[in-house]
Amino acid sequence: MKSDLYVLAAKRTPVGSFGGSLKKLSAVQLGVLSSKAAIESAQVSGEDFLQSIFGNVCSFSSADGPYLARHIALRSELPIGVGAYNVNRLCGSGFEAILHADRWANEEGWCLVGGAESMSQTPLIVREAREGFKFARPPQMIDSLWEALTDAYIKQPMGITAENLAAEFSISRQDCDEWSLKSHQRAARAADAGFTKEEMLTLENLSHDEHIRRDSSIEKLQKLSPVFGGVTTAGNASGMNDAAASLIVSGSKFYEKWKTNSKRPALARIVASQVVGCDPAKMGLGPVQAVQKLCEETGWKLSEIDYVEINEAFAAQILAVKKALQLSDEQLNPHGSGISLGHPLGATGARISTHVANLIGAGHYRRAIAGACIGGGQGIAVAFEAVNE
């Protein structure tokens, strides 16, 4: 689908580890932090906002989760009249929220978009308790996070879908551990080189991405036991994390007004996007067809794209995508991704988009593709490019 959205500003919180430094902040609170920073960076006035649109998956991680986009807008001091809604395309939710702004692109104003997630605050739940239960037979407590990470349609947790790809693409445990180590090393180098400095907030209790393991090694990774009996371990899978990312976007008409007033160009332009379905048992391959269709639509050659980031749900998954798309080591995820930076579900797409937009805005790249596999069997891909001034 063609797009014409301009990213005026993009900010994010650090990514917190599961049960880590950000565990006491709700998804709404995290979203407010990133949104206030994005609004300040864009230097935009509240009365010109059209909508607040946010991706979120674990909507009951806090009492105000179902109100997330609305409460982020209100607590970020946007006017009462600004509309708001949440979107949930699972792991693609952060991307989806941004793309929803296309609906408002012809209006005179901008949208606050992004994603927010607190996986640390996902609750344990009791199903079928409203009608009571028999004496001495209390209902079972269910981990809502594990339940969310299991596809009831195919009766498989997401990790098994990665094992399916490992078997199909002949991906070994050694391959997975080597990619995991590479992801952590790349993320650490990117942070040290300042590639995330402009996009990331410094919070009182966290000023860096907490999930990066700087002391990771092949020896340490190989000591970890497989979780599903195959190649996947806690060390070569994405993290469960807490984070938020927010972007200010507008259509071309209102962008020209903003550019005149701010006397600076947008960080990047969103050119097109694609969302496809795939076999749920091989959900990790979703980005393959999405990227291919995106290249067909834009006329871009994948081999010529400056920067490609596909979220690393599992090492086996990203290696399967790498093989299927014939991407080089240097081209794919040069700054790390989900394994090293973490995967805060509804925030991941916004986190990646924030990174890509800031990289392009700083002049590091001209074109980029970002994407993710999606539980249930989908893939999403988005094309970004520099704004020609």
**What amino acid is encoded at 382 in this protein?**
V
d(Cα 301, Cα 287) in Å, to the nearest integer? 16
In DSSP terms, 156 is beta-bridged to 151
Q: Compute the Cα dihedral for 168, 170, 171, 173 and give only its sign.
A: positive
d(Cα 218, Cα 317) in Å, to the nearest integer? 19
Q: Residue 246: phi, psi to the nearest 5?
A: -135, 140
3-class SS of residue 179: helix
Q: Compute the Cα dihedral for 319, 324, 328, 333 and give only its sign.
A: negative
Cβ atoms of 308 and 332 closer than 8 Å:
yes
User: Is 111 considered catalytic here?
Assistant: no
Which tokens is 279 given? 């076999």
Helix (H) or strand (E) holding 69: helix 68-75
d(Cα 368, Cα 363) in Å, to the nearest integer? 12
d(Cα 252, Cα 243) in Å, to the nearest integer? 29
Which tokens is 22 given? 């950000």
Kindly give, in sequence order, each residue whose CB lies less than 8 Å from that of residue 61, ignoring residues fewer than 6 positions away: 26, 27, 117, 118, 119, 121, 122, 123
Identify the DSSP state of 200. B
From the list 58, 91, 111, 176, the catalytic residue is 91
In DSSP terms, 118 is beta-bridged to 242
Best CA proximity match to 15, nearest among 211, 214, 195: 211
Best CA proximity match to 96, nearest among 281, 267, 290: 290
Best CA proximity match to 55, nearest among 134, 116, 135: 116
From the list 111, 278, 295, 373, the catalytic residue is 373
3-class SS of residue 271: strand
Output the DSSP codes for 223-255: TSPPSSSSS--TTSB--BEEEEEEEEEEEHHHH
Q: Just list the catalytic residues.
A: 91, 373
